[in-house]
């Protein structure tokens, strides 16, 4: 009865389903790319320069102090150096008693010396014979200065000429003469050189400084190079006469 009472429900009409892509089975449809998360990369630390031996030693010794009283090598060398310096004595000049006595004797002898200073009446310009000045030469040519005394040494030997020359010049100066003429000759007959002329010039230049103020070869009209015009120093005793 129960079965009879169960009534068959009318079948439900199929639901409408639109599947337009059902025929595209097997075709891959690209979907949205899945975001892949990459694992984080580790930061690479910069490469540090390799430390050499001295740098490592300095880092290790940072903050330390040197012990000056240590018995290490440095301390030993410093101690040795100080001892070597202290052991060197100062070098001093040692003077013997004999040297001291000699120095004192030398000073005593120096103190006993008396310096003699002599002053000459002639000036420095008068000590050296000057060449015949142009003014004197003009005066001589014009006749302002006259030559009244002359000495001819022709035929005399060198010794005879040098003996007669100073006596002649002294006599001329005592007579108030300003200039005198000394004739020597040109020495043409001498085998090598005019010996007499050179001897007279040397005497006038050296030994005759007391009498001679200046001299020079005579002008041509008075003998030229074969004679000397000698200008005499003023007479210190004008009242005296020649012997």
Own/partner contacts of 151-159, CB < 8 Å, gap of 24 or more, are 151/180, 151/181, 151/182, 151/183, 152/183, 153/182, 153/183, 153/184, 153/185, 153/196, 153/200, 154/183, 154/185, 156/196, 158/195, 158/196, 158/199
Query: What's the pTM?
Result: 0.42
Structure confidence at residue 47 (pLDDT): 55
CA pseudo-torsion sign 124, 126, 129, 133 = positive
**pLDDT per residue over 131-143, tens digit each?**
455 677 777 777 7
Taking Cα atoms as reference points, which of 134, 140, 220, 239 lies closest to residue 180? 140
Tens-place pLDDT, residues 77-93: 545 555 545 455 555 56
Does residue 113 carry a pLDDT above 90? no
Q: Is the pLDDT of residue 229 over 50?
A: yes
Helices 158-174 and 195-205, packing angle to 10 deg: 40
Q: What is the pLDDT of residues 198-213, one digit of tens each?
A: 999 999 988 888 898 8
pLDDT category at 125 given cuts 50, 70, 90 is very low
Range 167-191 average pLDDT: 82
> What mean pLDDT is predicted for residues 31-43?
57
Q: Which of residues 191 and 204 earns the better pLDDT score?
A: 204
Domains of the chain in sequence order: 131-232 (3.30.1370.110)
Highest mean pLDDT among 44-48, 64-68, 217-221, 238-242: 217-221
CA gap 29, 186 in Å, rounded: 152
């Amino acid at each position: 009865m129960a079965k009879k009472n169960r009534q068959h429900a009318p079948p439900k009409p199929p639901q409408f389903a639109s599947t337009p892509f059902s025929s595209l089975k097997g075709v891959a449809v690209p979907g949205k790319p899945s975001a892949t998360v990459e694992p984080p990369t580790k930061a690479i630390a910069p490469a540090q320069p390799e430390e050499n031996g001295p740098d490592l030693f300095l880092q290790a010794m940072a903050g330390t102090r040197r012990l000056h009283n240590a018995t290490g090598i440095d301390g030993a060398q410093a101690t040795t150096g100080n001892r070597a310096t202290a052991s060197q004595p100062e070098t001093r000049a040692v003077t013997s008693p004999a040297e001291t006595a000699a120095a004192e004797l030398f000073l005593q002898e120096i103190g006993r010396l008396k310096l003699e200073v002599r002053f000459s009446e002639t000036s420095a310009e008068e000590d050296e014979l000057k060449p015949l000045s142009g003014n004197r030469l003009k005066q001589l040519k014009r006749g302002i200065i006259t030559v009244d005394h002359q000495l001819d040494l022709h035929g005399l030997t060198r010794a005879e000429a040098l003996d007669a020359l100073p006596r002649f010049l002294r006599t001329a100066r005592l007579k108030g003469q300003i200039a005198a003429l000394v004739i020597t000759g040109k020495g043409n007959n001498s085998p090598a050189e005019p010996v007499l002329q050179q001897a007279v010039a040397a005497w006038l230049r050296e030994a005759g400084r007391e009498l001679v103020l200046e001299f020079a070869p005579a002008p041509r009209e008075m003998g030229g190079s074969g004679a000397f015009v000698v200008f005499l120093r003023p007479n210190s005793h004008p009242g005296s006469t020649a012997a």
